[in-house]
Amino acid sequence: MTKAEKARAIQRILSKLYPKPAPPLEHRDAYTLLIAVLLSAQCTDKRVNLVTPKLFAAADNPGDMAQLHPDDIRAIIKPCGLSPRKSKAISQLSKILIEKYDGQVPRTLEELEALPGVGHKTASVVVSQAFGIPAFPVDTHIHRLAYRWALSSGKNVVQTEKDLKRVFPENTWNDVHIQIILFGREYCPARGHNPLACPICSKYGRKGLKPS
């Protein structure tokens, strides 16, 4: 079985389990998604979803957010961790959106990655989930599972993204990356994973994969 054939088989399982995958981070528009993804760095989506309602009640658009002092932002987002850096980035990027983009979130990876606190993964999530542009954001869940399923060498997230884009059709990327995240949380966790009980690892997992 080639990697492309395996990917198609895995995709069928994922689509059956998660036919209409919803983005795990709650948001209202491109801007609130951008902020939520930024907050999710080294933080669980569950915790971010608990914090963002309070933050967005105070400011849910670049104009209002730019009016808040970074210390006020920091006080709200502190449970997400890295609050000094994240609050500064949120304040700065909100001002840039007003000054450079008329308060709108740009639609290209290059423009997004130029914003403070926005890396490639964050930018990829925004273009795919907010604008429907094909992208394949790779987080720790996807990186781990791509290795377990022998779809990637697992050397780094950059290589994993390239490998997955190669074996999954472009028109499926936006759904598949969410489906893999959801599957990883439910069936294929980092710890306490039993490959024999996993719907995908049991059939298509890397040879010699041991329980964790």
- Contact of 62 with 89, CB cutoff 8 Å: no
d(Cα 146, Cα 167) in Å, to the nearest integer?
A: 11
Reported residue count of the chain is: 212
Q: Look at phi and psi of residue 210 and say left if phi exceeds 0, alpha if psi is from -120 to 50, else beta.
A: beta
- Of 163, 129, 134, the closest CA to residue 149 belongs to 163
Provide CB contacts within 8 A for 102, sequence distance 6+: none
d(Cα 87, Cα 59) in Å, to the nearest integer?
A: 13
Catalytic residues: 121, 139
d(Cα 126, Cα 133) in Å, to the nearest integer?
A: 9
